[in-house]
Amino acid sequence: MPRGVEWGTLALIIGCYGGWLAVLFLLAPLSVPLAILCLSLFCALHSSLTHEALHGHPFRSRWINEALMFLPLTLMIPYGRFRDTHLAHHQDERLTDPYDDPESNFQDPGAWQKMPAWRRAILEVNNTLLGRIVLGPLLGQICFMADDWRQARAGNHAIRRDWVLHALGLVPVIWIAQASPLPLWALLLAAYIGLALIKIRTFLEHRAHEECHNRTVVIEDRGPLAWLFLNNNLHIVHHKHPGVPWYALPRLYRQNRAAFLAVNGGYRYSSYREVFGKYFLRRKDPVPHPLWPFQR
């Protein structure tokens, strides 16, 4: 629907960059550990804001939104690749598909059986919340880059372009960081922790289910993690209404709670505290897709 500039989102983007700079130049001289912690929060927030931008916020212009998120504070993921893979993920009939959903953590059972034991063990650990936080960013980056490398070598020029643009965006980020009192290793660690925080959100966003809309969770949390994730914990609301900005999701959910829970088959948690209590050291799902190949 027609709308103007989302000034609150724009202010949050500016505040995110400003806070990142303040930590580098004002907090880092006082305490490197505290600076790492605060930088990781800004990195996670930047990732959430990048998600908003690729869905058309705060401007109606795609190019302005992409320019706003050009500086990759999380260091690892090219904006264009995140945009393309995430929008592919929004084809709900493909959710959790080991091949067609770029954000799926499920494996083809046939491929799973052929994996060496050490790799299966790592993926089993990664299916606990603690494992996803500690190992998830590294495993995700390795798989993501390996797949992009294969596609780029096969002639995918769009992927090559996105990585070149990412490298150009990294130049000012690294230059600014090196001009600050913060050591480069601390910047890298903060980016990793920021991505680890995002793994808390994505850990159980989708489950294996024959009905595609029943695959998407809602976590009725209103605490600091929900804010850091820009209410994307209300994930079924986002998937049903991807054009709705982050600040409108809670009211939309409150007004239609019963309908959303009917749509997603009651796939619901009351808070992230409940999620941590249940799955911090236990896996939620098997690694091989339990419904494969019936979902295809």
In a domain, 153, yes or no: yes
Overall average pLDDT of the 166-179 stretch: 97
Asked if 212 contacts 95 with a C-beta cutoff of 8 angstroms, the reply is yes
In a domain, 74, yes or no: yes
pLDDT of residue 93: 87
In a domain, 254, yes or no: no
Domain containing 138 equals: 7-200
In a domain, 147, yes or no: yes
Residue whose entry in the numeric block shows the structure tokens 């790799």:
119
In a domain, 236, yes or no: no
Over residues 199-238, the pLDDT tens digits come to: 999 999 999 999 998 999 999 999 999 999 999 999 999 9
Over residues 2-47, the pLDDT tens digits come to: 468 999 999 999 999 999 999 999 999 999 999 999 999 999 999 9
Looking at the DSSP bridge assignments, the partners of residue 219 are 269
**Alpha carbon of residue 200 to chain centroid:** 9
**pLDDT of residue 295 exceeding 60:** no
In a domain, 273, yes or no: no
pLDDT of residue 296: 45
In a domain, 105, yes or no: yes
In a domain, 110, yes or no: yes
pLDDT of residue 3: 65
Asked if 30 contacts 185 with a C-beta cutoff of 8 angstroms, the reply is no
Give 1's pLDDT tier (boundaries 50, 70, 90): very low
The set of residues, in sequence order, having a beta carbon less than 8 Å from that of 230 and lying 6+ positions away, is: 45, 48, 49, 51, 52, 246
Looking at the DSSP bridge assignments, the partners of residue 30 are none
Over residues 235-275, the pLDDT tens digits come to: 999 999 999 999 999 999 999 999 999 999 999 999 999 99
Domain count, the chain: 1
Overall average pLDDT of the 169-182 stretch: 97
Asked if 50 contacts 69 with a C-beta cutoff of 8 angstroms, the reply is yes
In 3D, which of 127, 179, 140 has the Cα closest to residue 47? Answer: 140
Give 293's pLDDT tier (boundaries 50, 70, 90): confident
Q: Indicate if the alpha-carbon torsion angle 165, 170, 173, 175 is positive or negative.
A: negative
